[in-house]
A and B are shown apart, each in its own frame.
Chain A
Amino acid sequence: MQRLLAFIERDLRKFVRNPIVVGVSILMPIIYLVILGNSFQGELKNLPLVVVDRDNGPSARRVMELLRVVESGARTVTITVMADEGAAMTALREGECKAVLVIPSGFSRSVERNTVVELGIFLDNAETISAATLQAAVTRAVTQLKSGRVAVREERGRVLLRDVEIYRKIDYDQTLIPGVVIMAIFLGAMMTGAFNIVMDKFLGVDESYLLTPLTKMDMVVGLVVSGLLITTTLAVIVLVLGSLISGIYLWRMLTVPSAFYVLAVITLSTLGLQGLMFVIMGRINHPRIVGVLGGFLNVIFFFPSGAIYPVESFPSWLKAFALVNPESYSVHALRALFFKGAGLEAVKGDIVFLAGFAVCTIVAGIFAFKRTL
């Protein structure tokens, strides 16, 4: 035990003497939260739309009014009115707007006569998400034009849907918090534990302690424990800062037991990833390879975790990967604990998986680690 504690102390002392690493470990997930939260924001906004009104009749004016409501309300679009259809199409091709809506001449007359009317919308479909959003916004506005003239009650078969959210209102950047915590854990696991073995090999320092009575277990468990202490601390700091930035008050959302479960999920996720890093990096001897692997592993674990996009919407092969991805379970558990007020029953499956994953990877890491040069 004295040897193990000495090895842990050696690693912790080296880490705290590199404060820049501590700072980057905290800042990176926070920057990720701020940038991703503000760039995605759930719904798209301020998409530039050019309207060419060749009708100038009452219905055309009504369409414009409805679009202006969208512009000032949900702010999905920013409207520019142009008289020349050719200039509008040039603007679309040159990327100055995302769509051109053409209201043809005779539009108001056709609406009055209740005949089939068509509006032309030209979309920049090189950006599919913007195109789909604009099409939906314009369609909603035009539908309201018709419903304004036809009483809803006379429209049989039409179903009105009133949505009821069962949890409190959650902003997009708040939904990123579990992912940001998991990212902090991943970064912590990358920069501690097995990475220190790689750096020791690279610097030639490993030879000095391989010559001592330290066992494989002393070294692997020692680095996992020091990595756990560092990473858990960083993840908790990131959780607190991220929550404050996104407007979540943890002390209101978490009960004492759920705070304990959050800590358990963070701890088990860290242990699992630390063990996994030993399996993957235990025999690598150059930090350049760790740099390449780090980016790759972050992508393959983080994006299929459900932190950004729901796992249910993945293609079947990616769903299968998500089933064995420890970060999927971490995100699921943290989301349930943060936003749904869930108890142990809701997250015990995640905790069991994460615990099993941690045990398997640490044992495999001890076997994979080579005690000779």
Chain B
Amino acid sequence: MKPAIEIEGLVKKYGEITALDKVTVTIPEGDCFGLLGPNGAGKTTLIRILTTLLKPTVGTARIGGFDVVRQSADVRTVIGVVPQAMTSDLDLTGYETLDIYGRFYNMPSSDRRERIDELLSLVGLTERAGDLIATYSGGMRRRLEIARGLVHKPLILILDEPTIGLDPQSRHVVWELLEKFMKLDRLTILLTTHYMEEAESLCKHVAIIDYGRIVALDTVEGLKKQIPQKDVVEVTIANIAMEEAVKFARGLSAAPACASRDDVLIVSSDHGAEMIPVLVDGLKGLGAKVVRVILKEQTLEDVFIHYTGRPIREEEAKKVSFLLGAGIPTRLGR
């Protein structure tokens, strides 16, 4: 299948800081590709290079066959982008926004009107199209911004954390919309997200990026299989000390990793189902009362934490002028 996005040895440096370090990824046409990573991992930097807002230090990236540095104007015609922050003009109405953005792409007026009506209907904003965006809720703005990214029928839709800050209902609406557009427009989608559930529900392929490097890349199922001890057995016990239970579990050769949380013994294993009778019998033999046993499969979140370590990561502090605060020309301060 023809690649929609080809990234080869991409490096981006800010002074001494390396935000992206030799990133190489190929995304085929029609794929929905998820880019996962903790804060400051380089996701937004990569998206900004692919969308021509930043220039790479080294390496190449091609979108729809166009080089993002040398053919940036062509790249902008084949991509639709939904940035991380809400970027719609509050003083315009929903319809005016789509109409003006359609004109930025030189769309003929009849095509534009037809497309805007179709999109407004799909994102459920037909009734509110004449209202100022300032009156919209966060979920409505996000739906409008997805419609804005699609107004010119792009080949590739790039979304930078599209559901961040939305309530669970709005998040599910956005996921349904993206699935609908994938089928209708045969889009290639690249999205970054913090939500593992989002990646699991939408993406065919997922890459995990950390410290500017791609540390894992596969299908969601493939990634889950990559980590050892893919099953987790949680046993709630009483009557014996937890230290004794942990010592027992560590002595079992089939359970190389174990830990505890309050009165719950947590054992990771490649063969969780087989571990359960061994654990229960052994613990009973020690005089423990087994209250509850749960067998869980590792989630994408477990995979994510396996590759990136701690779940929460502090970003690099941004440079801000001591004299002028944040309001300075970017080149001087940030």
**B76-A211 in contact (CB<8A):** yes
Q: Which residues of B33-53 have CB atoms within 8 Å of chain A's CB atoms?
A: 48, 51-53
- Tell me if B's interface is mostly helix, strand, loop or mixed: loop
Say yes or no: A18 contacts B89, CB within 8 Å. no
Is B240 an interface residue, CB under 8 A from the partner? no
A62 at the binding interface (Cβ < 8 Å): no
Q: Is the CB of A285 within 8 A of B327?
A: yes
Q: If the complex has contacts A17-B91, A208-B83, A208-B87, are A373 and B106 also in contact, measured as CB distance less than 8 A? A: no
| CB-based contact B54/A373 at 8 Å | yes
Determine which of B85, B91, B101, B104 lies in contact with A204 in the assembled complex, contact meaning CB atoms within 8 Å: B85
Q: Are B91 and A14 in contact (CB under 8 A)?
A: yes
- Check: A348 CB closer than 8 A to any chain B CB: no
Query: Do A212 and B101 have beta carbons less than 8 Å apart?
Result: yes
For window 306-334 of chain B, which residues contact chain A by CB distance below 8 Å? 324-331
Residue B104 contacts which of A214, A283, A286 (CB distance < 8 angstroms)?
A214
In the bound complex, residues from chain B placing their C-beta under 8 Å from that of A14 are 89, 91-92
Interface residues of A in 203-246 (CB under 8 A from B): 204-215
> Nearest chain A CB to B53's CB is how many angstroms away?
5
Q: Are A283 and B83 in contact (CB under 8 A)?
A: no
A284 on the B face (CB < 8 A): yes
Among B73, B79, B145, B329, the one with the most A-chain Cβ atoms within 10 Å of its Cβ is B329
Chain A residue numbers with a CB within 8 Å of B328 are: 284-286, 289
- Interface flags for A182-213 (1: CB within 8 Å of B; 0: not) read 00000000000000000000001111111111
A289 to B328, CA, bound (A): 7
Task: Contact check, B103 vs A372: say whether CB atoms are below 8 A apart.
Answer: no
How far does the alpha carbon of A18 sit from the alpha carbon of B134 in the complex, in Å?
Answer: 13
Interface status of A6 (Cβ within 8 A of chain B): yes
Max count, chain B CB within 10 A of own CB: residue among A10, A208, A372: A208
Report yes or no: A213 in contact with B77, Cβ–Cβ below 8 A: yes
Q: What is the chain A residue whose CB lies nearest that of B132? A: A17
How big is chain B's contact interface, by range?
35 or more
Chain A contacts for B77, CB-based, 8 A: 213
Quick one: CB contact mask for A54-83 with B, threshold 8 Å, 1 for yes? 000000000000000000000000000000
Q: Does B195 sit at the interface, judged by CB under 8 A?
A: no
**Any B CB within 8 A of the CB of A7:** yes
Cβ contacts under 8 Å, B330 to chain A: 283, 285, 370, 373
Q: How far is the CB of B96 from chain A (nearest CB, A)?
A: 6
Contact of A6 with B103 at beta-carbon distance under 8 Å, contacts A13-B91, A211-B83, A372-B53 already known:
yes
**Complex Cα distance A314/B33, Å?**
68
* Alpha-carbon distance between A158 and B331 when the two chains are bound, in angstroms: 69
B327 interface neighbour in A3, A13, A288, Cβ under 8 Å:
A288
Report the nearest B residue to A206, measured CB to CB: B87
Q: At the interface, yes or no: A5 with Cβ under 8 Å from chain B? A: yes
Quick one: CB contact mask for B23-67 with A, threshold 8 Å, 1 for yes? 000000000000000000000000010011111000000000000
Residues 8-29 of B, flagged 1 when their CB comes within 8 A of A and 0 if not, give 0000000000000000000000
Q: Does B205 have its Cβ within 8 Å of any Cβ on chain A?
A: no
Known: A10-B89, A372-B53. A284 touches B329 (CB 8 A): yes
Q: What residues on B are CB-neighbors of A13 within 8 Å?
A: 91-92, 96
Q: How far is the CB of A83 from chain B (nearest CB, A)?
A: 61
Nearest-Cβ distance from residue B64 to partner chain A, whole angstroms: 14
Could you tell me the distance between the alpha carbons of A288 and B85 in the complex, rounded to whole angstroms? Answer: 21
Assuming the contacts A14-B91, A372-B52, asked whether A3 and B104 have C-beta atoms less than 8 A apart, the reply is yes
CA distance A3 to B328 in the complex (A): 29
Q: List residues of A whose CB falls within 8 A of some B CB.
A: 2-3, 5-7, 9-10, 13-14, 17-18, 204-215, 283-289, 370, 372-373
What 7 A-B pairs are tightest by C-beta distance, nearest first?
A: A286-B327, A6-B103, A208-B87, A283-B329, A212-B104, A289-B327, A14-B91
Q: What are some 23 contacts across the A-B interface (CB < 8 A)?
A: A2-B106, A3-B106, A9-B100, A10-B96, A14-B91, A14-B92, A204-B83, A207-B53, A207-B87, A208-B87, A208-B145, A210-B53, A212-B76, A213-B76, A283-B330, A284-B329, A285-B326, A286-B325, A286-B328, A288-B325, A289-B327, A370-B331, A372-B52
